[in-house]
Amino acid sequence: LFVHSAVPREHPSSRPRFPSHPTPSMSNPSGSVDISVSRRVADFIAESLVSQGVTAVYGGHGGSVIPLVNAISSHPRLRWVYMRNEQAASLAASAEAKLTGRLAVCVATSGPGASHLTTGLIDALQDRVPVLAITGMKATRAVDLSEFQAIHQEELFRAAGLPFSKVVMSQDAVPAMLRNAIAVAIREKTAVHLAVPVDLQAKQVTLPPLHRQLGHMAHLEYQSSDTRIHKAARALADPALRVVIAIGNQAPLELAASTPTHALQQSPQSAYVRLAETLNAPIVTQLDSKGIVDERHPLCYGVLGIFGSPGLDAARALVQSADMVVLFGVDHQAVDLISDSDFNQVRKVVEFEPDAGSAAYHRWYDCEEVVLGDLASNARRLEAAVANLRDTPQARESYKTSVEDCRPLLAVARQWNWLLRGGWRESPAVAAAVEKETGDDAPPSRFQVDHPERPGFCHPVRVLAPLGRKMRAGDVACVDVGDITLWSSLCMCMSGGQRVLSSQGMGVMGYALPAAIAASLQRPDQHVVAIAGDGGVQMTIGELATAMQMRCRLILVVFVNTILGRVHFGFEGVSGDDIISPDFVALARAYGGDGVRVTSADEADAAVDAAWAYKGGDDGRGVFVVEVHTDPELKAEYAKMKDASPFVAQVREALADVLPTDLRPSDIRKLIAFDVHGDGMLSSEELNAARAALSRLRRDQGDPSELLRVLRTGQLFKSPMLSSIKTLLEPLEPSPFVLRDGPGGGAGTELHVVGTTSNVLRGHVPDHLRSQVFDATPYRAGFEMAALEDMDGLGEMCLCDGVVYVRETNSARPDFFTTRHASSFLTPAALLVPKAALVDHTVVMDRVLAPDGVPFVRVINDLYNSVKAPFVFTGEVEWYTCDVTCMSKAPNKGESLSACLPSYYTQPGTVLHDTRTFVCGAVTRTATSSSALDQELFNRVFFHDLTKADSSAAAISASIGTDCQVQCHVHVITYSASGAELADVWHVNPDSLVKYLKLDLFRVASIRVLDE
C-alpha cells in the first residue's frame, strides 16, 4: 500500500531545531502501489494521515503516545507541532480545519492529556469542521487495571457530543477503525476520536488498500439541477421583494479547499456581490466569512451575530424587516436571520449548502428551496436566472408600482426603497469600493467607529483599522473571544480574500494564539495576526514558545484593559473580574521575539507599521507583540457607528450644538419624527422645530446625561408630552383605506367617560372613585386606567366585549406586570363605548395599495381627514412593527407625572413584530377653532396638564407652527400564541407600522359622565 520506506529519511538528530515548512498536499504519493505489506501501526497511521492531505499534527507528548509521535515526527511529509497544552493542540487543529477545509489532527497522551483535548474538539464539532483526535492509552493488558491517568476516554468524548469515539483493542482492527473515524469526520464535518493503546502502536499490522476508500470519501461532490436553481430564482423574481443575503463560514471553507492561496483575491464583482447587485440586496456575513466580499461595497452591511449582537443597527433593522433571507453556507446565528425573539420563523428562506449534511443542519426551518453544490458557482447560476426572470413586463410593472412610485414614510421602509431603487449605485463609495485596488491608502469602510479617548489609552479602532487596511488576499486574522470579538467585527474592514478564524459556536477564550500558529504553518508566506484581550491571551500564552520553536511568522495584538470586559459589561452585579497581566512585550523578547507598547492614538500607526515590517531572525520569521492599553471603562457593546446615510449626516451637522456629543446614529434616526412631510430629510423648518424642542428639553432637564437618557431610551417620543403632536397632512392618494358608512349613518354615539386622565397623572383622584365599582359587561370597548377589585394599584386598561384587561402594577406580587381580566373594575379615568352604540363607519385597509404597510400616524391622519370630527375606533390591527410601552407603577397621591415620569415606566417597552391586536382609541384635535366636543374629549382622555402654555410640549407645538394638530390616544391587547385569546395590554406609540386593519368608527355625538 504505502511504499514510503524507499524514501530517504533524515535521522531526527540531524534535523534542524526549527524545521522547514513542507508544502501541503492533498494527493497520495506518486507511484504508490496497492499491495498488502506488514507495517507498524504507528507508521500506518502516519501514512494514512498523509493520504488525506494532513501536513501537521498538533499535540502533547507522553508515555502512551511515544511510538505514534516518533512515527509522525520522523515522517518526511508530516510536521509534529508540540503544543505546551493539549487544549491548545485541539484548538490549533480546529483552526487548521477551518482554514483549509481539510482533515486536521491532534494527538494526546492518556488521562489529562486526553481530557485537555475536549474544548477544541467541541469547537470543531460546533463549527462543523473535520478533526481527528488520536489518544494513547495504557497497554491493552493494563486497561481497567492500572489507575494512574486512566479514564474512559471514549465515554468522555461521546458525552461531549462527538458522534464517533472508539477504543481499538486489536492491531488488526486499526485500519478499519481509522477508516471509519476519518470517514465520519469528513462526511459529517465533525470531530472524531480514536484511542490506541501504546502497545498496539508498536505492533505490526497487515495493511489493506485503505487509501482508495479514504480518497474517494474526501472528494464527494454535489451539484443541484437547473430545475432547483430556477425554483429558487422564481422565489426571488419579484423586484419589490426585500431580500437579505447571508454568507456563512462554509463559503470561505469551500474557497480554501478549492483555490490556491495566490488566487484568493475576491474582487467586488465576485459571485455573491453580483447576485446582491441584481437583487438590490444587502449582504451580511458571519465573523468567519468576513473577507469573502469587499466590505467597502455599499451593499455590504457587516457582521451579524456576535454574541447575539449585530455590528450595525442598519443591518439588524434590514434583517428584521426583510421578506426573505438567502443563506449561503450559514451554520450559526440563523435565529438572528430568520426568527423572532421567541425563535419562531418569520421570514422565508432559500438555502444554499455545499452538501446534504450541511442542509440537514437547518432541517427545523421551512425553506422555499434548498440548493446543494458549490456555493459560489450556484450563486452565479442563481444570479443569471433571477436576472432573466426580472427582465419581463410583469416584473417591471411590479417594480414601478411597488418601488418606483412608492413613497414610504417609515425610516426602514425608506432604506429598503433606496436599496430596491438601486440608490446604492449612486453612492460615492461605489467607485472606491468597486474600481480602486486595495492599498495602504485604500478608502476606509463606509462605517467608522466613533472613538472618544482618555489620556493614557488607545481606542481599539486605532490599531484594528490600519491592520484591516494592510491585510491582503490570503492573510489571516485569528480573533479571540471577548469584547475584542466585537471590536474586530466592527473595526477591521476586509477588502476581499482575507480569512478570519474564530470560535463561533463554543466561544473559547484563548483561541487566537493556537489558531494563529496553525494558520502560520499552513500559510507561511502570508501575514497572520492573532487578536486577543489580556484575559483571553493568558489562557494560552505559553504557546508563544510553540510559535517561536516552529518559526511561525505572526503578529500578536493584545488589548490590555485589566478586566474581563465581556463579563464585566455584559452582566449586572459582577465582581472578581479584575486581572493583572505581565509585560507582554518583555515576554515576547524573552522568547526571542519583539514587540511594542501603545498607550495613545498617536502611537498606533507606527506600531502597526513596525509589526508588519518585522522580519525576526535570519529566516525572516518570528513573533511580534503589539500591546495596546485600552480604557477599562470602554464598553464594546456601545460601539457607535457613524452611518453614512444623508439623514444622520444632516442631523449631526445641523444640530451638533444641541445634541449630546456621544449620541448614537440609532438615537439620531429617532429624530425622523420631526420629518412631518415624510420625505426622509429635515427641511429648514423641521430642523428649527427639532432645535427648539431639544433646546427646551435641555434647559428643562439641566443634567446633560438625563437628556441623553431621554433620547437614548426613546422617552422623548414615547412620553405623553410628545407622542401625539403631529401636523395634519393631506391624505394619501390613492388611499389604501376603504371607508364605508355603517348602520349609525354618521349620527354619532353617546360615549361614557369616568374621571379624567389629567387628574390621575397629577395624583388627584377623587375619593369616591377609589371605591366605586363599574360593570364591564354593558360595553363593547374602552381604555385608559383601572384596577380590578383585588388590586392594590392602578394599571393600564383596555376593555373588549364586556371583559376588562388590566396590567398589574404592584411590584410585590408574583404576577407583577402581567395582564389580568375580569367583568368589573374600579377606574379613575376611562372612556367606554356602550354595546348599544351603532357603528358610523367601517374602515378596511387595502393590502395591494400598501404592501409595505402604513405608519400608524398616517392612519390616524387620513381617518381624521375623512371623518372631520372627534371619533373613537375599535377593531383589529395587524402590525409589521408596533412600538409599545406600559405604565409599571401607579401614581401616588399628589405625585405629578411630568415630574416623575421615569419612575412610572420602570419596565421597558418593546417593539412587537408581525403581531395581531385588538385596538381601542380616541382621536380629536386641538385648534383655535376646535369644537366643544373636541375640547371635552381632549380634556377627559388626553394629557391636558402637560400641554399647558409653559410646557415642553407646547414649545414644540409652537415651533412646528401648525394651528391644527391631531391627537390620538390608543391602547391594544395582544393575542396569545395560539391566537384564540387576548393576552397583554399596551399603550401604542407613534413609531409603529400597520400591515392591515379592520376598524369600526364611532363619531362622538355627546359625552355622558358616569361619576357625576
Report which of 833, 792, 832, 835 is spatially closest to residue 816, judged by C-alpha positions.
Answer: 792
pLDDT at 265: 43
Tell whether the model's pLDDT for residue 151 goes beyond 60.
Answer: yes
Tell me if residue 314 falls in helix, strand or coil: helix
Q: Dump the DSSP string for 656-715.
A: TTTS-TT--HHHHHGGGGG-TT-SSS--HHHHHHHHHHHHHHHHHH-SHHHHHHHHHTTH
Q: How far apart are CA 862 and CA 989, in angstroms?
A: 17
Contacts of 226 (CB under 8 A, 6+ apart): 381
- The pLDDT assigned to 164 comes to 95
Position with higher pLDDT, 178 vs 393: 178
Q: Where are the beta strands (DSSP E) in 576-650?
A: 594-598, 622-629, 641-642
Q: Cβ distance 967 to 724 under 8 Å? A: yes
Torsion of CA 460, 466, 472, 478, to 10 degrees: -10
The per-residue pLDDT for 533 is: 92
**Nearest residue to 358 via CA among 343, 375, 342:** 375
If we measure between CA atoms, which residue out of 871, 889, 746 comes closest to residue 816?
889
For residue 293, the model assigns a pLDDT of: 87
DSSP string, 105-148: EEEE-STHHHHHTHHHHHHHHHHT--EEEEEEES-GGGTTT--T
For the cut 60, the answer to whether the pLDDT of residue 104 exceeds it is: yes
pTM (2 d.p.)? 0.62
Cell of 211: 487509501
pLDDT at residue 962 in the model: 41
- Name which residue leads in pLDDT, 496 or 385: 385
Report the alpha-carbon distance of residue 394 to residue 384 in Å, rounded: 18
Predicted pLDDT of residue 192: 96
| Model confidence at 844: pLDDT above 90 | yes
Q: Max Cα separation, the chain?
A: 109
Other Cβ atoms less than 10 A from the Cβ of 730: the count is 8
Answer for the pair 878, 916: CB distance below 8 angstroms, yes or no: yes
| Most confident listed range (421-430, 699-708, 730-739, 891-900) | 730-739
Residue 35 predicted with pLDDT over 80: no
Write the DSSP assignment of 191-239 as a string of letters.
EEEEEEEHHHHTSEEEPP-HHHHHHHHHT---B--HHHHHHHHHHT--T
Rounded CA-CA distance 490/467 in Å is: 13
Neighbours of 660 (CB within 10 A): 16
Take residue 92 and report the three cell numbers written for it: 490549533
- E strand spans, 599-658: 622-629, 641-642
| Average pLDDT rounded to a whole number, residues 665-681 | 63
d(C-alpha 887, C-alpha 903), whole Å: 9
The distance from CA 872 to its chain's CA centroid, rounded to whole angstroms, is 41
Lowest mean pLDDT among 133-137, 268-272, 573-577, 586-590: 268-272
- Choose between 435 and 910: higher pLDDT: 910
pLDDT-based confidence at residue 551 (cuts at 50, 70, 90)? very high
- The per-residue pLDDT for range 593-646, each reduced to its tens digit, is 999 999 998 999 999 999 999 988 778 889 999 999 998 877 765 333 334 456
What is the C-alpha to C-alpha distance for residues 138 and 65, in angstroms, rounded to an integer? 10
Of 463 and 905, more confident:
463
User: Residue 845's closest CA among 869, 862, 865?
Assistant: 862
Q: Give the pLDDT confidence score for residue 85 in this predicted structure.
A: 94
Which residues does 748 contact at the CB level (< 8 Å), separation at least 6? Answer: 840, 869, 1002, 1003, 1004, 1005, 1006
What pLDDT was estimated at residue 961?
35
* Other residues' Cβ atoms within 10 Å of the Cβ of residue 415: 23
Could you give the dihedral angle defined by the CA atoms of residues 55, 60, 63 and 65, in that order, rounded to the nearest 10 degrees? -30
Within 795-900, strands assigned E span 795-800, 803-807, 819-822, 824-834, 841-845, 854-855, 871-885
Mean pLDDT in residue range 534-549: 93
CA separation (Å) from 485 to 123, 129, 310, 509, 518? Answer: 16, 21, 12, 10, 19
pLDDT at res. 1006:
92
Q: Which helix (H) or strand (E) holds 773?
A: strand 773-775
Strand partners, 81: 58
More confident call, 936 vs 875: 875
> What is the signed CA dihedral for 483, 488, 490, 493, rounded to 10 degrees?
170
pLDDT at 770 over 50: yes
Give residue-wise pLDDT tens across range 614-628.
988 778 889 999 999
Helix or strand holding residue 418 (H, E): helix 411-420
Joined together, the cell numbers standing for residue 955 give 414649545
Count Cα neighbours of 772 within 13 Å in the Cβ-side half-sphere.
15
Radius of gyration of the chain (CA): 33
pLDDT band at 678 (very low <50, low <70, confident <90, very high): low
Whether residue 587 contacts residue 625, with contact meaning beta carbons closer than 8 Å, is answered with yes
**What does the pLDDT average to over 139-146?**
79
pLDDT in tens, 154-165: 889 988 889 999
Cell of 120: 477544541
Q: Which three cell numbers stand for residue 268?
A: 467586488
Residues 771-818: pLDDT tens digits? 889 999 999 999 999 999 888 778 899 999 999 999 998 888 888 889
Q: Answer yes or no: are the C-beta atoms of 1007 and 933 closer than 8 Å.
A: yes
Residue corresponding to grid cell 515576547: 588
For residue 945, what pLDDT band results from cuts at 50, 70 and 90?
very low
CA–CA gap between residue 43 and residue 653 (Å, rounded):
70
Question: What average pLDDT does the segment 316-323 reach?
Answer: 78
| DSSP line for 333-376 | -HHHHHB-TTS-B-SEEEEEESSHHHHHTTTTS--SEEEEB-HH
pLDDT in tens, 223-255: 677 888 999 999 998 888 889 999 988 888 776
Residues 96, 518: contact at Cβ < 8 Å?
yes
